[in-house]
Chain A
């Protein structure tokens, strides 16, 4: 097989590179800059151009990093290597690896809905498709983002009328910018956590139209009725005191389940995910036309059983160290 599943990650022996390795290697191809996919310590990195500033922010200015555009092909010892839009976050890519009769697509994290900020997902025909399944159960079927944002804006508006701030937990890379993009257009007064602010700067450097919103730490007082966007880990610290009075909400695919909403004690939960829902996962797999499907991180066993028994696909579970979307947005540590 062209790609082997090793204890360091997905390995292409013919081209001698790894994809999203979780242990340090010589050459790492990175699907996107989330910390469970882009880890420190690799000798050389290859990623999409838009990911570069964020990767440097997170892994260090001085990493050895080469970039590609979507669709640009690199030849490595006869292996064709190219990146294609995954629609997960800005700069996220599916990695296409072709040699002889085998065409592999390692999709990383992806979603099919166009979020208006990330380059939309493109299906890539292949023989072997590696798919995540964070939300690989029919319980998860997302509403279009316009509807979710309409609910969110109504909530923010109600709070503003009571003189309260809205405090929304979201990943600092991807989800935060998606919220800023939508809420800014609607005229909300937005302030962000430092981790979000730094990510905004890096993405703007990559050429993305991220609105210029102030970090919380900037001198100006916070106007009542503001929206504060911060990673979930910041919510448990005394950092939040300065926003009182405020109401909290979480924007995550997990909010589709009432149980997780109660467990997290969130007053409001907005089901908004950067991952594919059940219908999209099935659609992506079907569009790939692959004869073999490998499923990683998520409800792997159940999803795989469904693919095998119900769709008669040659599907397998591959265990990885990817985490996908966690219910409390705990990926990023607070920096303030």
Chain B
């Protein structure tokens, strides 16, 4: 636990990527395997859920610290963070005593213990928590409190973690990405099963291949016949993994979303397939897409009722084949993969899926005309894919490009919320949004008000109450988690803004519940928009 706390401090205290990677590498070399597995779990959004009621924690803190409860609450209000407040108020551990248990040093010992609390009494949890508070120093107490309140987050990107592990294990980052994807938990996995397993997990998806926005003139792409064009669909990117009679559906954030789309994951048609498809989950009816909001209503629900299935029907629009008959197809050319995909469609057609059509064009002018017509087809633009390209992992330039109709939309994360005026006084309606800079730090660049429904405002306001980091006057800084698509009329350079860019008339296009903060755009993307405008 102490070593993990030290790692968090090291990561917190530097903005340099190489120093962060080095800190992670040192850490993985030093700690036992169980701690390594838990650390990876924590850094890949597999953090433990809140294990105890926070009102109880506050009253235990007051009791142990010998403070009146009101003082604990006032301190919480001032510090803005309960875990930090409790860590600061509780008495310090006696300096390095002989009796220090081995547990103080083990991260897994604490986390394994916490995962058993569901089946135990609150008194049991209390005894454990109080012991932990007694034996940990202030910094470790803070991290421990983040665990038990379910609020642990850390600024390590998947890429950074993968790079560090690749160096520790002397393997390729893509291999590591594959090992870390999927539905594992620290309870059912070990260092051995994660990285050295002989039998592959049947549900495991491949890392997604992601495209950058087109940066150059079409002419520079060379011969049009070398390229395949498809609509850029306005759905949710997904991977359908059908192996040995079981179907799993993964989102681009590598979240398992099978339960949200039973008509796909429980389809007998797919379960008889032995293939991994890359494509788009999209709301669809009568040969045409339905608005994105309908699809949104399907996400994050515990139960999908017959009513919802009828109101928001979805299909899987396939555009690539990554595996067939248990053979990895990713190194083959797109042309070959497409041919096999078409064969698969002929073998098993069905209402659950379709092929995303390859669009016919003879020259770049015809392609431009297609792009301009994209909105009429309820698409966001075009995807351009080189026919001879393999299926790569991660976001890459060169062989895949996305070419959106409206150049002025970006995905950004909300970091501040401010109370509104007039009709919505009392509600948080004015939001500040940020994108990543080259150091993966969030930089605010736009404020936007309009564009959400009342129901969405209400939901976001409830979320803000539970995710406030600090409040100053009418403003709250919130956890950087909610992703929104923003549109604006113009963009230019600005010396006045910290980000160096200023946008005109920003508005919220929609709330992207399907996206995570590591999928938002970067400052570099914004600068490219300036160059293009």
B79 interface residue, CB < 8 Å from A?
A: yes
Among A139, A256, A263, A306, the residue within 8 A (CB) of B470 is A263
Which A residues are CB-close (under 8 A) to B197? none
Tell me the smallest distance from the CB of A255 to a CB of chain B, in Å. Answer: 12
- Is the Cβ of B79 less than 8 Å from the Cβ of A259? yes
In the complex, chain B residues 39-91 whose Cβ is within 8 Å of any chain A Cβ: 65, 67-68, 70-71, 74-75, 78-81, 84-85, 88-89
Which B residues are CB-close (under 8 A) to A306? 68, 71
- Is the Cβ of A268 less than 8 Å from the Cβ of B13? yes
Per-residue contact bits, chain B 1-21, to A (CB 8 Å; 1 contact, 0 not): 000000000000101000000
Among A257, A262, A268, A302, the residue within 8 A (CB) of B71 is A302
- Is the Cβ of A138 less than 8 Å from the Cβ of B67? yes
Which B residues are CB-close (under 8 A) to A267? 13, 15
- Is the Cβ of A139 less than 8 Å from the Cβ of B78? yes
- Is the Cβ of A138 less than 8 Å from the Cβ of B79? no
Give A259 to B80 CA distance when docked, in angstroms.
Answer: 7
Per-residue contact bits, chain A 260-303, to B (CB 8 Å; 1 contact, 0 not): 00110001100000000000000000000000000000010010
Which B residues are CB-close (under 8 A) to A268? 13
Which A residues are CB-close (under 8 A) to B68? 306, 309-310
Tell me the nearest residue of chain B to A140, going by C-beta. B88
Per-residue contact bits, chain B 404-431, to A (CB 8 Å; 1 contact, 0 not): 0000000000000000000000000000
Give A306 to B65 CA distance when docked, in angstroms.
Answer: 14
Give A309 to B81 CA distance when docked, in angstroms.
Answer: 25
Not counting A138-B89, A140-B88, A257-B84, a sample of 12 additional A-B residue pairs whose C-beta atoms are within 8 angstroms of each other reads: A138-B67, A139-B78, A139-B85, A139-B88, A256-B88, A259-B79, A259-B81, A259-B469, A267-B13, A302-B74, A305-B70, A310-B68
- Is the Cβ of B84 less than 8 Å from the Cβ of A137? no
Which B residues are CB-close (under 8 A) to A257? 79, 84
Give A79 to B267 CA distance when docked, in angstroms.
Answer: 95
Which B residues are CB-close (under 8 A) to A259? 79-81, 469-470
Taking each of A137, A141, A155, A267, which has the highest tally of chain B beta carbons within 10 Å of its own beta carbon? A137
Tell me the smallest distance from the CB of B217 to a CB of chain A, in Å. Answer: 38
A258 interface residue, CB < 8 Å from B?
A: yes
6 closest Cβ pairs, A-B complex: A259-B470, A139-B88, A139-B75, A259-B80, A138-B89, A302-B74
Tell me the nearest residue of chain A to B76, going by C-beta. A139
Which B residues are CB-close (under 8 A) to A262? 470
Taking each of B13, B68, B472, which has the highest tally of chain A beta carbons within 10 Å of its own beta carbon? B13
> What are 18 contact pairs spanning A and B, CB under 8 A?
A137-B74, A137-B75, A137-B78, A138-B88, A139-B79, A141-B88, A256-B88, A258-B79, A258-B81, A258-B84, A259-B79, A259-B469, A263-B472, A267-B13, A268-B13, A302-B74, A306-B71, A310-B68
Which B residues are CB-close (under 8 A) to A141? 88
Tell me the smallest distance from the CB of B13 to a CB of chain A, in Å. Answer: 6
Tell me the nearest residue of chain A to B469, going by C-beta. A259
Which A residues are CB-close (under 8 A) to B469? 259
Which B residues are CB-close (under 8 A) to A302? 71, 74
Give A335 to B75 CA distance when docked, in angstroms.
Answer: 37
Which A residues are CB-close (under 8 A) to B75? 137-139
Give A310 to B66 CA distance when docked, in angstroms.
Answer: 10
Which A residues are CB-close (under 8 A) to B79? 139, 257-259
Tell me the nearest residue of chain A to B75, going by C-beta. A139
Tell me the nearest residue of chain B to A302, going by C-beta. B74
Tell me the nearest residue of chain B to A299, going by C-beta. B78
Give A139 to B88 CA distance when docked, in angstroms.
Answer: 5
- Is the Cβ of B81 less than 8 Å from the Cβ of A139? no
Which B residues are CB-close (under 8 A) to A258? 79, 81, 84
Give A259 to B89 CA distance when docked, in angstroms.
Answer: 16
Which A residues are CB-close (under 8 A) to B470? 259, 262-263
Give A302 to B73 CA distance when docked, in angstroms.
Answer: 11
Which B residues are CB-close (under 8 A) to A299? 78
Give A137 to B472 CA distance when docked, in angstroms.
Answer: 19
Tell me the smallest distance from the CB of A166 to a CB of chain B, in Å. Answer: 13
Give A95 to B470 CA distance when docked, in angstroms.
Answer: 39
Tell me the smallest distance from the CB of A329 to a CB of chain B, in Å. Answer: 19
Taking each of A137, A139, A263, which has the highest tally of chain B beta carbons within 10 Å of its own beta carbon? A139
Give A305 to B13 CA distance when docked, in angstroms.
Answer: 37
In the complex, chain B residues 488-502 whose Cβ is within 8 Å of any chain A Cβ: none
